[in-house]
Structure 1
Amino acid sequence: MDAETLRKAKEELIKRVEDFYGNNLLSVVFYGRHLHDPNFPEIDVVVIIDKPYDPVKMNRMADFVENIRDPIEEKYGYHVSFELYTREEAENFHSGYLDVFVNYEIAYDRDGYFEWLKEEMLNPKTVMKHVQYLSTIEYIPVDREDRE
């Protein structure tokens, strides 16, 4: 594994993603250690599609594994660790975003969607509406003036 092999693997991965999802694709974002170490044997990627083409998330993930992940792993020897979200899923906070936002490389971003998503997830004024998705406890904003 070297920088050239990594570059080729990522280029083919992007092409496969674009070919498979077509106009439904919103963003492809690489993140993680491979961005600084081409010898690291894993490529981390987030793929966001607009609408679910299959209502069952496990089916969508199986399609990704069969059509994108497995061919790249077999051909280039890198393990492909992926997150696959629909727009609706992406717009709810995921703790994995914290790793992505620290160190990422945008490979495809239709209409600046991922950049918007990042700003939305890191915005202190809107973050609680996203975090409540993770909890069974409903977040109820309290107007401070009403308490006084």
Structure 2
Amino acid sequence: MVVCKHWLRGLCKKGDHCKFLHQYDITRMPECYFYSKFGDCSNKECPFLHVKPAFKSQDCPWYDQGFCKDAGPLCKYRHVPRIMCLNYLVGFCPEGPKCRFSHLSTGPGIQHLLFLLWNACSPAWGSGVKGRTCATGPLCQ
């Protein structure tokens, strides 16, 4: 979790509902806007991270596999959130490499769990049970 840039200036209006950290932690500071946008920051005591833009042009190989080993904001590579392809997760995506969703590899344990959830919720392939109560709870909805 990254420190809230609005909280740092005393301007965050979300309070407890804010999805960012409301405590000062040097290891979780957001990126400096000026350094990331213009490659330079004139504030000698800038509290924000100065990450070289050349590194940010490359995707983080660890984040792409599900977990960044460099603890998020400290990583020198780009973290691009991706939505997993549900078809791929259950075994086959008809779109193949043209699919706009992520086809990251998952271990056999995850695939088996998803298969069980899919079959518990969908007696007929892809029908779902959105209108009824599902045995797996909110997972399929």
Output the TM-score relative to the length of structure 1.
0.26
Which has the larger share of strand? Answer: 1
Which has the larger share of helix? Answer: 1
Q: Which structure carries more relative contact order (alpha carbon 8 Å, separation 6+)?
A: 1
Output the TM-score relative to the length of structure 2.
0.26
